C-alpha cells in the first residue's frame, strides 16, 4: 500500500496482479447472499468496504445489502482505519455473469477517491485502481454519456452485452485515467489496461 500515495498509484508502479488473499471468504459469502433467491427471480446487490487497519492489514468489512441493481457502500470507517475502496456484487436475475463496472460505479470511484474498487459477477472479479493519471473529479452525467457511447457503438457492432460492457469499461478507463484488472475470485486479478 506504500504505492498509494494520496490514494493514487503511479502508473509505473501499478502491480501486474492483485491478490484477493484475505478477502475471498467475505466476497464469496456476499455473492451467495446476492443470488440465494435467484430461482425466484430475486437478486440483491451487496457491498463491503475495503479497510486498511493501523497495522497495514486489509480486510472487507461494513457489509451492507442494497436492492436488485444498486447498493451504497459505507465510506466512514473507524478512527484507526483507512477506507481504501469498496467491493460490491453485480447479480442479474436472468443469471448473467462476467459483468464489469457500470457508469455509476466508475464515477463513484473518482468522486469518492477510492484507491481501489472491486466488483464481483459470478466467479469473475474486476478491479479499478486510481492512478496519478486519474482525473480529480467528474460530472457523473458526462461520464455516463461517454460510457453509453462506447457501449452503444459496441452493441451496434454486434458485441454481446458482456463484451460491450467490457468495451465501455476500457474506453472510460482510458479517458479518465483508471487502471482495469480482471480475474476470478479464486485467483489473482491480472492487469488488463493501464495508461
* 3-state SS class at 119: strand
Strand partners, 49: 61, 86
The Cα 121–Cα 184 span in angstroms is: 9
pLDDT at res. 3: 55
Backbone angles phi, psi at 3, to 5 degrees: -65, -25
* pLDDT tens sequence for the chain (195 residues): 445 555 778 888 888 999 999 999 999 999 999 999 999 999 999 999 999 998 888 999 999 999 999 999 999 999 999 999 999 999 999 988 999 999 999 999 999 989 999 999 999 999 999 999 999 999 999 999 999 999 999 999 999 999 999 999 999 999 999 999 999 999 999 999 998
Helix (H) / strand (E) containing 37: none
Residue-wise pLDDT for 47-56, tens only, equals 999 999 988 8
* 3-state SS class at 68: coil
pLDDT at res. 1: 42
Give the strand order in the sheet containing 124-130: 17-18, 189-193, 178-184, 124-130, 116-121, 81-89, 46-53, 58-65
The Cα 98–Cα 124 span in angstroms is: 5
pLDDT at res. 4: 57
Phi-psi region of 186 (alpha: psi -120 to 50; beta: other; left: phi over 0): alpha
| Contact by Cβ (8 Å): 40, 93 | no
Name the pTM for this structure: 0.94
Amino acid at each position: 500500500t506504500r504505492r498509494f500515495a494520496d490514494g493514487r498509484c503511479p502508473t509505473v508502479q501499478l502491480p501486474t496482479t492483485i491478490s484477493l488473499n484475505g478477502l475471498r471468504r467475505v466476497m464469496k459469502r456476499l455473492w451467495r447472499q446476492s443470488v440465494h433467491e435467484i430461482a425466484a427471480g430475486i437478486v440483491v446487490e451487496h457491498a463491503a468496504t475495503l479497510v486498511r487497519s493501523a497495522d497495514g492489514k486489509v480486510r472487507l468489512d461494513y457489509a451492507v445489502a442494497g436492492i436488485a441493481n444498486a447498493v451504497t457502500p459505507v465510506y466512514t470507517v473507524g478512527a484507526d482505519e483507512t477506507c481504501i475502496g469498496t467491493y460490491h456484487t453485480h447479480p442479474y436475475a436472468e443469471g448473467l455473469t462476467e459483468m464489469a463496472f457500470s457508469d455509476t460505479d466508475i464515477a463513484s470511484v473518482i468522486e469518492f477517491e477510492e484507491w481501489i474498487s472491486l466488483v464481483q459477477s459470478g466467479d469473475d472479479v474486476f478491479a479499478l485502481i486510481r492512478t496519478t493519471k486519474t482525473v480529480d473529479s467528474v460530472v457523473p452525467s458526462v461520464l455516463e454519456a461517454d460510457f453509453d457511447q462506447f457501449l452503444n457503438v459496441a452493441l451496434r457492432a454486434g458485441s454481446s452485452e458482456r463484451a460491450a460492457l467490457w468495451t465501455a469499461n476500457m474506453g472510460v478507463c482510458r479517458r479518465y485515467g483508471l487502471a482495469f484488472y480482471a480475474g476470478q475470485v479464486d485467483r489473482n486479478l491480472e492487469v488488463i489496461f493501464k495508461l
